[in-house]
Chains A and B, each alone.
Chain A
Amino acid sequence: MTRQERAGWLFAAPVLAIIALVFVLPTALALCLSVTDYSIYALADWSNLRFVGLGNFTDLLSTPLFWRALANTLIFAALGVPMAIGTSLFVALLLNDATVRWKPLWRVLLFAPYVTSIVATAVVWRFLFNQRFGLINRALGAIGVAPVDWLGNPHLSIPAILIFVTWKVFGYNMIVFTAALAAVPQDLMEAARLDGASRWARFRHVTLPAIGPTLLLATVMSVAGFLQIFAEPYVMTMGGPAQSTTTLLYFMFDEGFKWWNLGQASAVAFVLFVMTLAVTVVQTRLGRRREWL
């Protein structure tokens, strides 16, 4: 072993060992756990553990709350991704305008919600959404809208939480898009302008092709993010009302750490994993096939 090789292993081994212990090993065990009936009885005594094959998965299929959680998660992603990405892009385009002054100031302030604790800001937004005393309903009242029961109405609970999530996360992709927009070829833009292309035409045929790959990557990555929503409904609605905000991860948490059905919960984790994997496959496929949107 050369000196360099020894040093290489010495530097890399500690973190690799920890990754193996807290990530690789448990992920492999999750697979094993999902084919057992691990429950509170097994927690007390390992001898109560039985192999159940795909039993947990077939059980899931006949659990209405699982389907509800799956549907809710998909709704969160289907509505949330366009909301969040659209907001990020809109703000980035606005910020990209050459005539805007004090850009660094706006950028930092617009990004600020991203670094805050989800739990703390969820508490704040739950208060803003309060039907009687909330600031949002007061603002709506000023323009003549009757008080809305944001978090108490099963049809509005997901949109309400998504407004909060969008506020919280749009800054991240705003920064990413700002950087991509700065790389849009200016001579091309100028040529289009001289040719008399409208604002929209310039956006559609110059800006969009240039930022297409970034936009696509950001979209796919936010799908993966929205599939993992947990803390927001945990703090704001406890999964309700009428289970309208119970997400897959929320369901997994309840199954696993409230009812101690760790076998069943692992099956849910596995479903989540497969969904994330599917998203990633789509990402690499799209990335390879198309240069831009």
Chain B
Amino acid sequence: MAVTRRMAVTRLRPFLATAAVALLTALTVLPLAYMVIVSFMPRGESTTLPTPLWPSRWSIENYYELLVRRQFDGAWFDYRIFPALLNSLLVAAISTLLGLVLTVPAGYAFAKLRFRGRARLLQMLVAALVVPGQVAMLPLFLIFKELRLVNSYAGVILPSLAGIFAVLFVRQATLAIPDEMIDAARIDGASELRIFAQIVLPLLTPVVVTLAVFMFLGSWNDFLWPLIVLVDQHLYTLPVAVAAISREHAADGELMMAAAVVTTMPVLLLFLALQRYYLTGLLGGSVKG
């Protein structure tokens, strides 16, 4: 009797464990799924009782109102979500591109090129990781005000380029490249730039892709600094714009969910497409601390 029960449990176990994980996953994804569902409800439906779980009809009016329509009862009105989408794309793309150009060669230099002060500088970079970035924000605002960078794309992008973590991340990955390869190229008379571009960079491609995803997502989701440095609504990035309209339109559930979809979906899709790079990169960073 006991034996048969144990056998039943053993046979059921794979199913039970998988079912438990599936249930947890469903619970985790539910808020995101509900966000999408509500964003397609006709205006006002989500604030009826009992709380609807499914749209009575699928409607794109919320997206239309948020992204396209500008005129209400003859008056011009704009949620500025579409410009914010473009701003976010522009800022994230430039941050990522410049960030890579700045940090990848530096990470390589810290790993493989001997130059005076390298060890000391490296120590300082590691120590700097302890300081929370928010401490720098108040004086940085004043510095940027003097440099006329407040309320500009450059003002948002520049701080994101100080990629201390990125430099250390690239350095860590570069250490795995054997010195012999680099030395052999040197003996063959290749210039340092050529060694970097033609030998090291191809080997670092997965790391660069990982870093690019990190940087793009980081820039896209960044909130506090853009909120501080951007004054003009035309320059708002998506999180700042969504936070602004969420204060005025808290009651418009469907509209806010559509805004949340526009903000989350691009990076969610990017993550799903490149998840392998992202998740391995995350471990590469955490193992070393």
Residues of A within 8 A of B (CB): 2-9, 11-12, 14-16, 18-19, 21-27, 29-30, 32-33, 91, 94-95, 97, 99-102, 106-113, 115-121, 123-128, 130, 132-135, 138, 167, 172, 175-176, 179, 217, 224, 227-228, 230-231, 234-235, 238, 249, 252-253, 256-257, 262, 265-266, 269-270, 272-273, 276-277, 280
Contact = CB atoms under 8 A, between A and B. Distances in A.
Contacts of A128: 31, 34
Contact of A116 (B159, B167, B268, B283): B268
A262 B167 contact: no
A124 B246 CA distance: 10
B17 A116 contact: no
Contact of A16 (B106, B256, B278): B106
A116 B267 contact: yes
Nearest to B99: A15
A190 to B, nearest CB: 17
Nearest to A179: B283
A112 B279 contact: no
B1 interface: no
A265 B256 CA distance: 32
Interface in B18-37: 18, 20-22, 24-25, 28-29, 31-32, 34-35
14 contacts: A4-B192, A11-B106, A11-B113, A19-B128, A23-B131, A26-B138, A32-B139, A109-B29, A119-B223, A121-B31, A124-B31, A230-B224, A231-B243, A256-B137
B98 to A, nearest CB: 9
Among all A-B residue pairs, the 4 with the closest Cβ atoms: A8-B115, A7-B192, A8-B113, A29-B139
B24 A110 contact: yes
B-side interface mostly: helix
Given A119-B223, A276-B130, A124 B260 contact: yes
B18 A102 contact: yes
Interface stretch (B46-54, B55-63, B64-72): B46-54
Between B137, B138, B246, B259, the greatest number of chain A beta carbons within 10 A of the residue's beta carbon is seen for B138
Given A15-B102, A117-B264, A127-B257, A269 B114 contact: no
A99 to B, nearest CB: 4
Given A126-B250, A280-B130, A22 B35 contact: no
A9 B247 CA distance: 48
Interface in B235-269: 238-240, 242-243, 246-247, 250, 253, 256-257, 259-260, 263-264, 267-268
B220 interface: yes
A76 to B, nearest CB: 15
Nearest to B102: A15
Nearest to A29: B139
Between B21, B268, B271, the greatest number of chain A beta carbons within 10 A of the residue's beta carbon is seen for B21
A118 B132 CA distance: 18
B47 to A, nearest CB: 5
B246 A123 contact: yes
A107 B144 CA distance: 42
A127 B263 contact: no
A115 B50 contact: no
A256 B115 contact: no
Given A14-B102, A109-B25, A123 B256 contact: yes
Contact of A175 (B38, B103, B243, B282): B282
Interface residues of B, number: 95
A112 B275 CA distance: 10
B162 A111 contact: no
A33 B130 contact: no
A19 B38 CA distance: 43
Interface in B115-173: 115-116, 118, 121, 125, 128, 130-143, 158-159, 161-164, 167
A266 B137 CA distance: 9
Contacts of B38: 127
Nearest to B12: A99
A235 B114 contact: no
Contact of A224 (B105, B132, B253, B271): B132
Interface in B175-217: 192-193, 196, 217
Given A9-B115, A12-B121, A24 B128 contact: yes
B113 A117 contact: no
A262 B246 CA distance: 27
A11 B161 contact: no
Contacts of A257: 141, 228
Contact of A27 (B116, B135, B163): B135
A133 B102 contact: no
B169 to A, nearest CB: 13
Contacts of A15: 102-103, 106, 161-163, 167
B289 interface: yes
Contact of A112 (B113, B268, B286): B268
Contacts of B121: 12, 16
